[in-house]
Amino acid sequence: MTALMVQSPDLARVSSAAGPFILGVISGSGDAAAVAFNRAVTPEAVKFGLSAMDMGSVAAIAGALGRSMSPIAGGMIICSAFANCSPMDAAKRNAPGMIVACLAVLALLLYK
Protein backbone atom coordinates (compact mmCIF):
# COMPACT_ATOMS: atom_id res chain seq x y z
CA MET A 1 0.00 0.00 0.00
CA THR A 2 2.85 2.37 0.83
CA ALA A 3 4.41 1.80 -2.61
CA LEU A 4 1.09 2.69 -4.22
CA MET A 5 0.94 5.86 -2.12
CA VAL A 6 4.42 6.89 -3.27
CA GLN A 7 3.22 6.66 -6.87
CA SER A 8 0.07 8.63 -6.08
CA PRO A 9 0.65 11.28 -3.38
CA ASP A 10 -3.01 12.35 -3.55
CA LEU A 11 -3.99 8.85 -2.45
CA ALA A 12 -1.66 9.22 0.54
CA ARG A 13 -3.27 12.51 1.50
CA VAL A 14 -6.78 11.08 1.34
CA SER A 15 -5.70 7.91 3.14
CA SER A 16 -4.28 9.92 6.03
CA ALA A 17 -7.82 11.00 6.90
CA ALA A 18 -9.99 8.21 5.50
CA GLY A 19 -7.95 5.28 6.85
CA PRO A 20 -7.95 6.19 10.57
CA PHE A 21 -11.52 7.52 10.32
CA ILE A 22 -12.86 4.23 8.95
CA LEU A 23 -10.77 2.19 11.38
CA GLY A 24 -12.06 4.32 14.25
CA VAL A 25 -15.67 3.71 13.21
CA ILE A 26 -15.12 -0.04 12.83
CA SER A 27 -13.07 -0.58 15.98
CA GLY A 28 -14.53 2.03 18.32
CA SER A 29 -11.01 3.23 19.15
CA GLY A 30 -9.65 6.30 17.42
CA ASP A 31 -6.36 6.12 19.29
CA ALA A 32 -5.62 2.59 18.11
CA ALA A 33 -6.49 3.55 14.53
CA ALA A 34 -4.29 6.64 14.58
CA VAL A 35 -1.35 4.90 16.25
CA ALA A 36 -1.52 1.99 13.79
CA PHE A 37 -1.60 4.38 10.82
CA ASN A 38 1.10 6.64 12.23
CA ARG A 39 3.47 3.75 12.93
CA ALA A 40 2.93 2.11 9.53
CA VAL A 41 2.52 4.99 7.08
CA THR A 42 3.49 8.36 8.58
CA PRO A 43 7.26 7.64 8.69
CA GLU A 44 7.08 7.61 4.88
CA ALA A 45 5.32 11.01 4.71
CA VAL A 46 8.26 12.75 3.03
CA LYS A 47 7.96 10.33 0.10
CA PHE A 48 4.36 11.52 -0.35
CA GLY A 49 5.30 15.19 -0.31
CA LEU A 50 3.92 15.76 3.20
CA SER A 51 5.47 16.48 6.54
CA ALA A 52 5.18 13.76 9.16
CA MET A 53 3.64 16.29 11.55
CA ASP A 54 0.86 17.22 9.10
CA MET A 55 0.09 13.63 8.14
CA GLY A 56 0.21 12.38 11.73
CA SER A 57 -2.01 15.18 13.01
CA VAL A 58 -4.64 14.53 10.37
CA ALA A 59 -4.56 10.80 11.19
CA ALA A 60 -5.01 11.50 14.91
CA ILE A 61 -7.92 13.89 14.39
CA ALA A 62 -9.61 11.62 11.84
CA GLY A 63 -9.29 8.64 14.17
CA ALA A 64 -10.88 10.61 17.00
CA LEU A 65 -13.74 11.69 14.73
CA GLY A 66 -14.28 8.08 13.65
CA ARG A 67 -14.39 6.94 17.27
CA SER A 68 -16.92 9.68 18.07
CA MET A 69 -19.20 8.23 15.40
CA SER A 70 -18.70 4.56 16.24
CA PRO A 71 -21.69 2.75 17.73
CA ILE A 72 -19.34 0.38 19.59
CA ALA A 73 -17.25 3.07 21.29
CA GLY A 74 -17.62 3.10 25.06
CA GLY A 75 -18.58 6.75 25.19
CA MET A 76 -21.28 6.26 22.57
CA ILE A 77 -22.76 3.34 24.49
CA ILE A 78 -22.88 5.34 27.73
CA CYS A 79 -24.32 8.46 26.09
CA SER A 80 -26.98 6.49 24.24
CA ALA A 81 -27.99 4.83 27.51
CA PHE A 82 -28.44 8.27 29.09
CA ALA A 83 -30.44 9.40 26.05
CA ASN A 84 -32.53 6.20 26.18
CA CYS A 85 -31.78 5.27 22.56
CA SER A 86 -29.70 2.63 20.83
CA PRO A 87 -26.01 3.30 20.09
CA MET A 88 -26.76 2.81 16.39
CA ASP A 89 -29.41 5.57 16.47
CA ALA A 90 -26.95 7.90 18.20
CA ALA A 91 -24.24 7.03 15.66
CA LYS A 92 -26.61 7.77 12.77
CA ARG A 93 -27.34 11.16 14.32
CA ASN A 94 -23.61 11.91 14.73
CA ALA A 95 -22.55 10.62 11.30
CA PRO A 96 -23.18 13.72 9.14
CA GLY A 97 -21.27 16.05 11.47
CA MET A 98 -18.35 13.68 11.91
CA ILE A 99 -18.04 13.08 8.16
CA VAL A 100 -18.12 16.82 7.42
CA ALA A 101 -15.52 17.45 10.12
CA CYS A 102 -13.26 14.73 8.68
CA LEU A 103 -13.57 16.25 5.19
CA ALA A 104 -12.73 19.68 6.65
CA VAL A 105 -9.58 18.29 8.27
CA LEU A 106 -8.63 16.64 4.98
CA ALA A 107 -9.20 19.94 3.13
CA LEU A 108 -6.88 21.69 5.57
CA LEU A 109 -4.18 19.13 4.75
CA LEU A 110 -4.71 19.34 1.00
CA TYR A 111 -4.87 23.11 0.74
CA LYS A 112 -2.35 24.14 3.39
Greatest Cα pair distance in the chain: 49
Express each pLDDT in 83-95 by its tens digit: 999 999 999 999 9
Give me the mean pLDDT over the 96-103 stretch. Answer: 95
pLDDT at 50: 85
pLDDT at 61: 94
Angle between helices 74-82 and 87-110 (to 10 degrees): 130
The Cα 19–Cα 38 span in angstroms is 11
Do 53 and 17 form a contact (C-beta atoms < 8 A)?
Answer: no
Sign of CA dihedral 105, 29, 77, 91: positive
